Structure 1
Amino acid sequence: QLTGISLSGDQKQKPADLEKELDKLQTEFDEIENQIRAGSPRYAALTGAQPLTLAETQQKVLDDGTVLLEYSLGNDTSYAFAVTQSGVSLFKLPPRSNIDKLATDFRAQLIPPKLQRRIVGIDVVAEQQRGLGLVEGPSENLTAFVASSNALYRAAVEPASNSFGDKRLLVVADGALNYIPFEALVRSTDGADYASLSYLIKSNEIVYAPSASVVAAIRQSGNKPSGKNLLAVADPIFSSDDSRVKGKAGVPAPAEARGLGLGLESAVNDVAGEPTAAGGLRLARLVGTRVEAEEIGKIAKSNGSQADLWIDLNASEDNLRSRDVTNYRIIHVATHGLLDAERPQFTGVVLSLVGNKDNDGFLRTDEIFNLRLGAPLVMLSACETGLGKEKRGEGVIGLTRAFMYAGAPTVGVSLWSVADKSTADLMADFYRRLLGPASSNSASVAMRAAQLGLISGKKYSAPFYWAPFVIVGDWR
């Protein structure tokens, strides 16, 4: 059984000793995970599903308007498989090292330099933004962006382009392709500004999956969003100094005062590259997420849906784990996301660190696996929630897979730290399109339309603003 570790003022251990203990716990964790995989058919179906045959993929996963584009990157040669309902094509691509470099170069052009190393939604100053005190926008070097985007498109997508035309793409990525939005790849180098570029999103709807087998397993489970209820969880309280807490009696101490669990501290330290000073971890309040949640609530109610908002102390891990959330069609979580790619079980979203009686406020991947959500669309409007550690044969492990196991057939996640204002605008437009009168839009259709809206609106036309959000899972 795994044992917890916490760090508090009167408990000092050398970093080397903590790392040794952590490695030991990691080994125990892996052993337990293997036992779970062997004992839980549903977990095995989502994390290590038996590959479908070509015929099964065509019958159980694809439709007339969808093409599966699956990658297999190799040391000497890579391949892309384009599968339709009636056939399959195989395309030879450059080696893994070439593709990974092109993808890394492309990602570097998408994201401001300030965010390229420290890729976790932690802010050490009181900037009201989702990210690391995000004060700069995207690269102004349009030429460099176009060159990197088109180079990756020509290497990884163009060879198969005749196979899919303008159909929906179901992308099963490999290697560094897991960390980039195909929507922002450009077909040509033409275009005078960000809005006029020939993005792939302009011609194709794009959804992602860990594998075709996972999509089939989701459908086989019969889980589908139903009803009209929406839950938005936003603007948690991260500090007892927060003005929303002062004067309230009987509020339990925040996790930071009790000593952060090693999971949260490890997630921060691994990304920051250095230990956090005692008492030095401060999460900035995300006021924009409150505005975002309230606007989404208004949109939902104006379209006949029931909207519940959990904000402030109610945006808590205690509530999410103990209250009945099985009747929601949509669960929207807007807060800081923490990525620990080395130890994916320490990846999670940070809810209220104040006021919890039974939990620490850091909802980790392993805890999400144990949630029971019904079958909602889960939207994670947080930092880099789509990333995770790549495990060969299992795709990218992260919050996406965890929420799918908990019941969500479709998950919306982000691939890098996102700017608050543009995200609020994007999400509001997304929900208008998803929940609008007589709307039959799926999440992927609504997201594509909202992203195209930002592009044409010019102000947030750079992919940095609109492209981090991707839809994973069943698009129907």
Structure 2
Amino acid sequence: MSFLPLETFASGSGTYLVEDFEISYLPNLTLAELLRSRRYAEAKGKACLWGGALYEERMAGPGGAPAEAGSIDAPSPGDLRLDALARLDEGKSLEPVFEDLGIYGWTDLPGTLGEAEDIRKLYPLAEMLTGGAVREDAVKAKFSPSKNDQFEFVHFALHGIVLPDIPEISAMVVTSESGSAEDGYLTSREIEELSVKAETVVLSACETGLGIYYGGEGVAGLAQAFILAGAKGVSVTLWQVSDESTREFMSGVYALTRQGMSFSAASSSMKRRFVNSSRWSEPFFWAPFIFTGISD
């Protein structure tokens, strides 16, 4: 059930549940009270947008051969897991681990730049970082525990990796620079060490919502990492989505938040619009966007 969007379930009247209800998710009961207690009084109207990362240097697979983006469903043997965790502990690049899993060949997402620009038009005071500025060290510096910045929205429009068998190295893929000490993969464990004081973090990327299920304690993935870092709520995607439809969906959601809606309510409202549209009515286009946490 953790990986199924409830919005797609049929109600008694034969419509989708999202047509009658606003649906959001809580990672677990342990965190529910903590999220309700978070108050970011200085966050209103402030946003930090990340998009249009440069992936050109990462388009080749092992040995420099051009490659398509790899599958995240590759098996993860125990020794590979141990190697991944050892590299994470020692601060070594995770690139070899991802290559062993068939995860490589990142291509640019031109729609993500337009997505960030659309949001900035609605929130003109938003800080927007694009292209070569979307680096791992820049994200870590922006959300350093030594800072106390608060945001209404932090938006990442990037490639994402989710590994249910090794959730610690699930990651957002950012611009990678030759000679950098960082490998360009901002992992769940690294995110947990940041200070992201935000009402809502939006992960507008491929399959950022999946994770590993621990009994009754929810899904441990990128969303959980951002909540542990300080976010009150996180919007993630459950499967690969179209650049074009994502841009339209996100632009619509932010337009509604500008009118005073909470992010969760705005997301549900946009899903209803998509359901009733001629072009994006199939659940494939609107169901993957789910909101985890508390949205006021």
Same fold (TM over 0.5): yes
Whether the 8 Å CA contact 2:19–2:272 is kept in 1: the answer is yes
Give the aligned partner of residue 266 of structure 1: 97
Is 1:370 matched up with 2:187?
Answer: no
Deviations 1:90-135 (A, max 9, x none): xxxxxxxxxxxxxxxxxxxxxxxxxxxxxxxxxxxxxxxxxxxxxx
Higher relative contact order (CA 8 A, sep 6+): 2
Give the aligned partner of residue 284 of structure 2: 464
* Structure 1 residues 459 and 266: CA distance shift in structure 2, 3 A: same
Whether the 8 Å CA contact 1:225–1:330 is kept in 2: the answer is no
* Residues in 1 aligned to 2:191 and 2:22: alpha-carbon distance in whole angstroms: 29
Q: Aligned ranges for residues 384-403 of structure 1 at < 5 Å?
A: 384-403=207-226
Q: Aligned ranges for residues 320-399 of structure 1 at < 5 Å?
A: 320-323=139-142, 326-354=149-177, 357-399=180-222
Secondary structure, counterpart of 1:331 in structure 2: strand
Give the aligned partner of residue 309 of structure 1: 128
Q: Root-mean-square deviation (CA), in Å?
A: 2.2
Aligned AA for 1:409? K
* Residues in 2 aligned to 1:400 and 1:386: alpha-carbon distance in whole angstroms: 6
Deviations 1:118-170 (A, max 9, x none): xxxxxxxxxxxxxxxxxxxxxxxxxxxxxxxxxxxxxxxxxxxxxxxxxxxxx
* Residues in 1 aligned to 2:233 and 2:25: alpha-carbon distance in whole angstroms: 10
Q: Aligned ranges for residues 113-132 of structure 1 at < 5 Å?
A: none
* Structure 1 residues 229 and 475: CA distance shift in structure 2, 3 A: closer
Aligned AA for 2:288? P
Q: Aligned ranges for residues 71-470 of structure 1 at < 5 Å?
A: 177-187=1-11, 198-223=15-40, 226-240=43-57, 263-267=94-98, 269-270=100-101, 272=102, 281-301=104-124, 306-323=125-142, 326-354=149-177, 357-436=180-259, 439=260, 441-470=261-290
Report deviation, 1:318: 1.0
Indicate the percent of aligned positions where both proteins have the same amino acid: 29
* Residues in 1 aligned to 2:292 and 2:95: alpha-carbon distance in whole angstroms: 25
* Structure 1 residues 268 and 390: CA distance shift in structure 2, 3 A: farther
Report deviation, 1:396: 0.9
* Structure 1 residues 462 and 214: CA distance shift in structure 2, 3 A: same
Aligned AA for 2:209? G
The structure whose Rg is larger is 1
Report deviation, 1:340: 1.0
* Structure 1 residues 400 and 206: CA distance shift in structure 2, 3 A: same
Aligned AA for 1:178? S
Report deviation, 1:381: 0.1
* Residues in 2 aligned to 1:419 and 1:374: alpha-carbon distance in whole angstroms: 29
* Residues in 1 aligned to 2:107 and 2:131: alpha-carbon distance in whole angstroms: 14
Which 5+ residue runs of structure 2 have no aligned equivalent?
Answer: 60-91
Normalising by structure 1, report the TM-score.
0.52
Whether the 8 Å CA contact 1:267–1:346 is kept in 2: the answer is no
* Residues in 2 aligned to 1:371 and 1:288: alpha-carbon distance in whole angstroms: 27
* Residues in 2 aligned to 1:356 and 1:363: alpha-carbon distance in whole angstroms: 17
Whether the 8 Å CA contact 1:223–1:408 is kept in 2: the answer is no
* Structure 1 residues 375 and 291: CA distance shift in structure 2, 3 A: closer
* Residues in 2 aligned to 1:331 and 1:352: alpha-carbon distance in whole angstroms: 18
* Structure 1 residues 355 and 232: CA distance shift in structure 2, 3 A: farther
**After the TM superposition, which of the residue ranges 216-225 and 355-364 deviates more from structure 2?**
216-225
* Residues in 1 aligned to 2:95 and 2:35: alpha-carbon distance in whole angstroms: 30
* Residues in 1 aligned to 2:99 and 2:6: alpha-carbon distance in whole angstroms: 28
Report deviation, 1:379: 0.3
* Structure 1 residues 352 and 263: CA distance shift in structure 2, 3 A: same
* Residues in 2 aligned to 1:444 and 1:451: alpha-carbon distance in whole angstroms: 11
* Structure 1 residues 224 and 182: CA distance shift in structure 2, 3 A: farther
Report deviation, 1:388: 0.3
Deviations 1:40-71 (A, max 9, x none): xxxxxxxxxxxxxxxxxxxxxxxxxxxxxxxx
Whether the 8 Å CA contact 2:55–2:176 is kept in 1: the answer is yes
* Residues in 2 aligned to 1:289 and 1:432: alpha-carbon distance in whole angstroms: 17
Aligned AA for 2:27? P
Whether the 8 Å CA contact 1:316–1:356 is kept in 2: the answer is no
Aligned AA for 1:318? D
* Structure 1 residues 227 and 475: CA distance shift in structure 2, 3 A: closer
Report deviation, 1:418: 1.2
Whether the 8 Å CA contact 1:350–1:363 is kept in 2: the answer is yes
Which 5+ residue runs of structure 1 have no aligned equivalent?
Answer: 1-176, 191-197, 243-260
* Residues in 2 aligned to 1:359 and 1:308: alpha-carbon distance in whole angstroms: 23
Give the aligned partner of residue 66 of structure 2: none
Secondary structure, counterpart of 1:186 in structure 2: coil
Whether the 8 Å CA contact 2:56–2:107 is kept in 1: the answer is no
* Structure 1 residues 323 and 356: CA distance shift in structure 2, 3 A: farther
**After the TM superposition, which of the residue ranges 417-426 and 353-362 deviates more from structure 2?**
353-362
* Residues in 1 aligned to 2:111 and 2:216: alpha-carbon distance in whole angstroms: 38
